[in-house]
Amino acid sequence: MTNLRAIIIDDEPLAHRIIKLYAADVPFLGIVGQCYVATDAYAVLSTMEVDVIFLDIQMPKLKGLDFLRTLRSPPKVIVTTAYEEYAIEGFELQVSDYLLKPFSFDRFVKAVNVVRRSLESRDEGKLSPRNLFVKVDRKQIQISTDRIQCLESYGNYVKIWLDEEMLLTPNTLTHFESELSELPFERIHKSYIINRDYIDFVEGNMVQLKNAMQIPIGKSFRSKVKDWYQ
């Protein structure tokens, strides 16, 4: 059974208390963070693994669904709200379930089970989080992600730079960004994803890898890179 790590994003203290109370009776669910303003969740999501967000919609500063749109690779989301009219918009953003306040314990458990089954199905379909199949010519080649130093967009292909060779595969960087999201890979340019374990040094707006490749840092990614060492 998959254990779920959850955070609550809701400006109402009562909502936090109810979700925590319900979660205490679900053995595979743990609340690992609580945020009363959506923007506070960025720090939580950047420092710990989260499987599911209990997300309110109407909040100050940044509404729940607007916050969800800003996330590059969001966890599963269960919307918890008193506003039924946002249901269609929520499901367009691929939320796992939509709980209308006040919701019962059995409805809460049903929503959590939807997330658990989805994650278990996803994990069963993967070969391994440390291995990847890539198409090269007519072959499907299995490689260890530990060997990948960076990935480079090349038209309708992606160059996968390994420690001692380069593979050319028909795919997109966005595909690999999703595949490698649980590993130490970061997109630092519209055309590059790097393996942070292979960084030699950062200088100005450039990252040099162990293989001496110099990768430019895109303007929109510079603040993220600075966060690594400041």
Predicted local confidence at residue 89, as pLDDT: 73
Cβ-contact 187, 200 below 8 angstroms: no
Domains parsed from the chain with CATH numbers: 4-124 (3.40.50.2300), 132-227 (2.40.50.1020)
CA pair distance 20, 155, nearest whole angstrom: 48
Specify the pTM: 0.56
Residue among 116, 124, 95 at smallest CA distance from 30: 116
Of 48-57, 128-137, 175-184, which range is least confident?
A: 128-137
Average of per-residue pLDDT values in the chain: 88
pLDDT at 174 over 50: yes
Predicted local confidence at residue 125, as pLDDT: 46
Predicted local confidence at residue 122, as pLDDT: 64
pLDDT at 131 over 70: yes
Cβ-contact 190, 218 below 8 angstroms: yes
Q: What is the pLDDT of residues 58-112, one digit of tens each?
A: 998 899 999 999 998 889 999 999 988 776 776 677 788 899 999 999 999 999 9
